[in-house]
Structure 1
Amino acid sequence: MRFPGFDEPWKAIHLSDVGEASSGFGFPDAYQGEETSEIPFYKVSDMNLPKNIKVMQQANNYVSQSTVKKLRVRPFFEDAIVFAKVGAAISHERKRIALSPFLIDNNMMAFTPKQKEDLEFIYHLFQKIKLSKYSQVGALPSYNASDILDIRTFYPTSGNERKKIVTILSLVDNRIEKQSEIINNLKKYKRGVFEAIFSRKLRLVSKEEQRDWKIFKLSDFASRIIRKNNGTTDIPLTISAQYGLIDQRDFFSKVVASADMSGYYLLRKGEYAYNRSTSNDYPFGSIKRLELYDKGAVSTLYLCFSVNENVMVNDFVKWYFESSQWYRSINEICAEGARNHGLLNVPTDGFFNTTHILPTDTKEQTVIATFLSLIQEKLEISQKGLNKLTELRNGLMQQLFI
C-alpha cells in the first residue's frame, strides 16, 4: 500500500546506513554520574518485557530513583530506540534517560538514528523486522550491536513518505492505547462493583424492597453431579480464566484428556465445575458454568454441580462465583500446607458444606445478575474493539512495509 504521490522504489539498506547501535560500555556519553536527579530514570517496569525473562524482572528492583545518584550511570541523549538484548524494540525516547550499569551491561542496547526525524519510523520498522532470524545461538534470543547494524531491509527514499507512514501508525497506536485504558478502567470498575455488591455495601433494589441476606450452605442451592459420560459427548472440557469451560482442542490445540472419556463426568449447559488448581488469578481455584456447548466431559478431578433455581437464580450464582467472596469459605476448609503442586486439598463434603452469605430474594438476585451482565457485556465489546484495532495495525504493518 502506497500513499498517493509516492511511486519511487524503496532502497535496500543495512541498518548501519541509517543509525548507530551501542551497548554496554559502548554507550554514548558514558560518565561517572553525579548530578543525575534531573534525568528521567529508566526502570525495567517501564518496558514491555516478556514475563519469562526472569533476570529482567529481577532487575526491576535492582536500583531506585533515590539511589541513582550513587551509581555510575550512562545517560542517553534524546532520539534513541532502547532495546532489550533478547530482541524486542521496547521504547523510543526524545528525552534524556538514565540506565543503571546492571541494565546496560547485561540486558540493554540502543539504536540512534542518524536523522532525528526518522526516530518513529525506524521504531516501527524494527517492529516489522523479524529479529529472531539474527539472534545468537543460546537458550534465549540474543543480539549484539553488530547483529543489529548488519540487518538488511528496505527503506523509503522519501522523507515525506516516512512521515506519512509514521502519522497513520501513530494514530492507530494512540487509539489502541486509549482503548486499552478503557478496558483497564472497566476491569477496575468491575472489581469494585463486585466487592461492593457481595459485601452488601451496594444494594441494587430500593430500601423498601431490601431483604436480609442469610447464610446458605452450598448444598442448600446446589446438587453434586457425578453422572458419567459413557460416550455421550466427545468434547473434552478444560477451565480457562478468559473463556470458562472450553473445548481442550480449541484452548490447547490438542486433547490432553484420556483417550477414553467414558468415565469422565458429563456436564450439561448451565451446570458448574470447580477446578481446585490454583493460579495467580485464582488462588482458591475457579468455578465456571458451562455456556459454550450443550454438553461436555470433564475430569473426575473436578467437583461438578447444578443449581436449584427454586432457591437461587442460576445467572446470579454464576456472577457470585466470578467474585472473590467465596474464597473465605474455601480457605476455611483448606488445611494448612494443603497446596500440593498447585492443587488445593478441598474435600468433596467440605466443599458442599461451605457457607455463603447471599440474598434470599430472587428478585434482588436477578437485578444483580442483570447489572453485572451489562458490565461484562461492555467489557467484551471494548475488548472486541481493541482486537479490531490490533488487527488493523497488523494489517497496516503488512501493507506499509516491504
Structure 2
Amino acid sequence: MPNHTITRATQKNADGHITNVICNSAKLGLIPQREYFDKDIANSDNISGYYIIRQNDFVYNPRKSSDAPYGPISSYKYAEDGIVSPLYLCFHAKDEINPLYYEWYFRSSAWHRYIYMSGDSGARHDRVSIKDDTFFAMPINLPSEQEQSKIASFLQSLDERIAAQEKLVASLKKYKRGVIKTIFDTLTPVSKSSIGKMATMFSGGTPRSDIVEYYNGSIPFIRSGEIHNDFTELHLSQIGLDNSSAKMVRKGDLLYALYGATSGEVDISKIDGAINQAILCIRTNEISSEYLALWLEINKNNILSKMLQGGQGNLSGELVKSLVVPIYSKTEEQVIVRIGNSINKLIDANTNMLYMLNKAKESLLQQIFI
C-alpha cells in the first residue's frame, strides 16, 4: 500500500540564496560540505538546482558502500537550512510521525528488501536504481505515537551508551600509551639493538581464491585486520596451506601489520593459524615478544611517519629489521610488560563490552522494525 506518512521535499534553491551545501555520508550522515571536505566544492553557479532541506528532513543517497549496501538515508540535524544535490531524494515525515523513530527505522535494514525487490534491473553496480514514485510508495509499519517515542528514546539511549563505551576504550588506550611512554622516557636502557639482530621474521601469502579446495578447512587464516582477534573469518585447508606462500604462526607469536589502513598495528597472536603477505611474524630471542609489541605500539606514529614507502601506507620486513629498540634490564623489562598487560586487561574487557553493546543494537534493529 502507498506510504502516506512521508512527503517529498522538492523546493529548489532557485535564487541561490542558500549556500550551505550538505553531503550525505554513510558514516557521518548529513553534514555541511565545508566540514566534510574542509572547503566548499559547489559554487554559486551550480546550486540553483539543489534541493532545500530543513531540520528533521531526510535525504536518500542511492550510492552504495560497504557501510550502506542500499545507500544511506540520513536525517538532517542542523537548525540552518541546507541544500543537497538533485541526485538525492529528499522527504520529511508528516506531523504525526516521530522523526527520531523514522531515523532509527532507516538506520536498520528493514527497508532493504523493499529496495531490492522494487529496484530497476540493469542498475549500475555502485548506485541503487529505483524510480522516485516507487521509493516513496515504500510501505512502513507504524506503531502508536507513544510506542514510536519509547522505541526512539530507548535506541537513542543505547546509542549514547555505545558512544560512551567507545570513548572509554579510546581513553584507556591513550592512558596506556602515556603510561608506557613515561616509563620509556624515565628509564635508562642498558643498550640498543635493531630488531633484525634480535629476532627472526617472516610473512606469508594468500592461496588462490579460485580454487575452492584451498579454503573451508580447519586452519584459521589470519589477515591484518584480525591480528587482535581470537577468531578468523576464513579458514584454509591443509592442501591450501601446502600449495601457497601462507605460513603458520603459533599462539604467542608477535604479529605486525604491514599494509594499508592497518599498517603498524601489532599484537600477540591469540591462536595458531596461517598468515598472509600483509602480516609480519616476529619471533624474538633477546627480548620478550610482549615487550617488543609494547614498544612498537607506543612508537607506531613515529614509525609510520618516517618509514612508509611512497605514500602507500605500507611497511616492509627490511624496514622493520632496521628499527632500533632500547633494551632494559630483565627486571625493568618485566615491570614494563606487567604494567602493559594490566592495562590491556582493562582495554580487552571494555572492548568486549563495546562489542556486545553493538551486537545488541544490531539484533534489536533487526527485531524491532520487522
TM-score by length of structure 1 reads 0.67
Q: Find the partner of 2:86 among 105, 112, 115.
A: 105
Paired residues for 1:136-285 under 5 Å: 136=120, 137-139=123-125, 140-156=127-143, 158-190=144-176, 196-197=181-182, 200-201=184-185, 203=186, 210-212=187-189, 214-223=191-200, 235=219, 237-244=221-228, 250-252=232-234, 258-260=240-242, 265-272=247-254, 277-282=258-263
Identity fraction in percent: 17
Residues 254, 289 of structure 2: 8 Å contact kept: no
Paired residues for 1:3-402 under 5 Å: 13-15=1-3, 17-22=4-9, 26=10, 28=11, 30-34=13-17, 36=18, 42-44=22-24, 48=28, 60-61=36-37, 64=40, 72=48, 74-86=51-63, 87-93=71-77, 95-99=79-83, 103-106=84-87, 108-115=88-95, 117-126=97-106, 127=108, 128-130=110-112, 132-133=115-116, 134-136=118-120, 137-139=123-125, 140-156=127-143, 158-190=144-176, 196-197=181-182, 200-201=184-185, 203=186, 210-212=187-189, 214-223=191-200, 235=219, 237-244=221-228, 250-252=232-234, 258-260=240-242, 265-272=247-254, 277-282=258-263, 288-293=267-272, 296-298=273-275, 304-308=281-285, 311-324=286-299, 328=303, 346-347=317-318, 352=321, 354-402=322-370
Residues 224, 304 of structure 1: 8 Å contact kept: yes
Name the SS of the counterpart of 1:93 in structure 2. Answer: coil
Residues 237, 246 of structure 1: 8 Å contact kept: no
- How far the C-alpha of 1:316 sits from its partner, in A, is 1.0
Corresponding letter in the other structure for 1:115: D
Name the SS of the counterpart of 2:15 in structure 1. Answer: coil
Aligned length: 341
Corresponding letter in the other structure for 2:294: W
Q: Distance in 2 between matches of 1:362 and 1:182?
A: 32
Give unpaired runs (5+ residues) of structure 2. 64-70, 204-216
Name the SS of the counterpart of 1:75 in structure 2. Answer: strand
**RMSD (CA atoms):** 4.5
Query: Does the C-alpha gap of structure 1 residues 187 and 273 become closer, same or farther in structure 2, counting only changes over 3 Å?
Result: closer
Give unpaired runs (5+ residues) of structure 1. 1-12, 50-56, 204-209, 227-232
Corresponding letter in the other structure for 2:91: F
1:52 alignment partner in structure 2:
none
TM-score by length of structure 2 reads 0.71
Q: Distance in 2 between matches of 1:169 and 1:330?
A: 40
Residues 223, 278 of structure 2: 8 Å contact kept: no
Residues 135, 141 of structure 1: 8 Å contact kept: yes
Residues 271, 304 of structure 1: 8 Å contact kept: yes
Corresponding letter in the other structure for 1:20: T
Residues 254, 266 of structure 2: 8 Å contact kept: yes
Corresponding letter in the other structure for 2:354: L
Residues 92, 120 of structure 1: 8 Å contact kept: no
Corresponding letter in the other structure for 1:392: A
